[in-house]
Amino acid sequence: MEIKKGLEDVYVKETEITYIDGELGRLYYRGYSIYDLAEFSNFEEVSYLILYGKLPNREELNWFQEKLREERYLPDFIIKFLREVRKDAQPMDILRTAVSLLGIEDSKNDERTDIRGIKLISKFPTIVANYARLRKGLDIIEPDPKLSHSENFLYMLYGDRPNEIKSKAMDVTLILHIDHEMNASTFASLVVASTLSDLYSSIVAGISALKGPLHGGANYEALKMFKEIGSPEKVNDYILNRLSNKQRIMGFGHRVYKTYDPRARILKQYAKLLAEKEGGEIYTLYQIAEKVEEIGIKYLGPKGIYPNVDFFSSIVFYSLGFEPDFFPAVFASARVVGWVAHIMEYIKDNKIIRPKAYYKGEIGKKYIPIDSR
């Protein structure tokens, strides 16, 4: 009996959404290279591509953008929840609960999955930015329908319109997080969807899986690690110490990539650009990250372990003004597109996901009454 631990190398569905070449370090959304999409496209267009399988024409893009802009607002009961909930909660717990609450309100199950998906894609940034401000004792900023998805996300965080560099960095970072084939959170959301449960429940499962430090929580862990190191001169000893204690370098390693993650290559450029502009603590953290990258590759590269998406995204998110524990929730704000697309693709030819566990215990035991045990 061969058990594929962690379902490593097991295919669970056919897909036309995303292709990863883990040996060459390449990533394609619907056949388009991630490098081209990051350079020439934008979040709205790439989301349409992922959801509907083609780049939109102008009319289709206008419809999609309009729909996203309309849906940015949160119902009053979510605002009330954000205002009243404790202010030291994990942002991923807030997001998970807010989506669950939205699901209770939107419980009639007759809407198209893509339309419900658009609502969630649109509302995630508002939930995240509103909670980020309330936690700092600031009041929430209403969405601005004139701004693009990424600009509006930062606007709701800052209260001012972001500059061009920050808007582009945010947009590219969101694009790079939109989908990644059969990662743990996408699989979790498919398990729920395959029982014909509703979209909100499936997305709650996705958020729950993404939260963990081995998945979307790694960006938060990477930044904590850079802060703990404190200065570039301390990197070598820190990494050696960590590896000799069998601890992992957060933001390194991947189940599929055995080389440099292409998303990390792109994010490194933005991390550098933003850190140089910001200076101060962020520039020091960037220098530490660069040194961790160099020393990490020296020791782990020969085993096929390289920086992944979470390594430099941590510096980008921090430079953009997000507190470290918000990073996974920003990641989720992009990955929700991939979850919805994979759910739509899977349920077209649904089969309930129900694997097996190989029983190794005894059978036929005699029941013993409690007083005789």
- Active site includes 254? yes
Q: Which is nearer to ligand CMC, 86 or 246 (CB)?
A: 246
Q: Is 267 in the site for ligand CMC (CB under 6 A)?
A: no
Residue length, the chain?
373
When binding is defined by CB under 6 A, the residue of 48, 155, 252, 317 that contacts ligand CMC is 252
Q: Is 6 in the site for ligand CMC (CB under 6 A)?
A: yes
Instruction: Please list the alpha-helical segments (H only) found in 71-177.
Output: 76-84, 91-105, 113-135, 149-158, 164-177
Kindly write out the interface string for residues 205-224 of this chain, putting x where it contacts ligand CMC by CB under 6 A and - elsewhere: ---------xxx-x------
- Active site includes 180? no
Kindly write out the interface string for residues 181-200 of this chain, putting x where it contacts ligand CMC by CB under 6 A and - elsewhere: --x-----------------
In Å, how far are 56, 338, 341 from 62, measured between CA atoms? 9, 21, 20
Q: Which is nearer to ligand CMC, 6 or 361 (CB)?
A: 6
Q: Is 320 in the site for ligand CMC (CB under 6 A)?
A: no
When binding is defined by CB under 6 A, the residue of 13, 26, 224, 248 that contacts ligand CMC is 248
Cβ neighbours of residue 288 under 8 Å, at least 6 residues apart? Answer: 226, 229, 230, 231, 232, 235
How far out from the chain centre does Cα 134 lie? 22
Distance CA 135, CA 132 (A): 5
Which residue is nearest to ligand CMC, using beta carbons? 253
Structural contact between residues 17 and 181, judged by C-beta atoms closer than 8 angstroms: yes
Q: Is 18 in the site for ligand CMC (CB under 6 A)?
A: no
Q: Which is nearer to ligand CMC, 103 or 296 (CB)?
A: 296
Cβ neighbours of residue 365 under 8 Å, at least 6 residues apart? Answer: none
Helix (H) or strand (E) holding 338: helix 327-347
When binding is defined by CB under 6 A, the residue of 235, 249, 292, 295 that contacts ligand CMC is 249
When binding is defined by CB under 6 A, the residue of 46, 182, 229, 250 that contacts ligand CMC is 250
User: Scanning residues 69 to 128, which ones bind ligand CMC (CB under 6 A)?
Assistant: none
Structural contact between residues 335 and 216, judged by C-beta atoms closer than 8 angstroms: yes
Catalytic residue numbers?
A: 254, 310
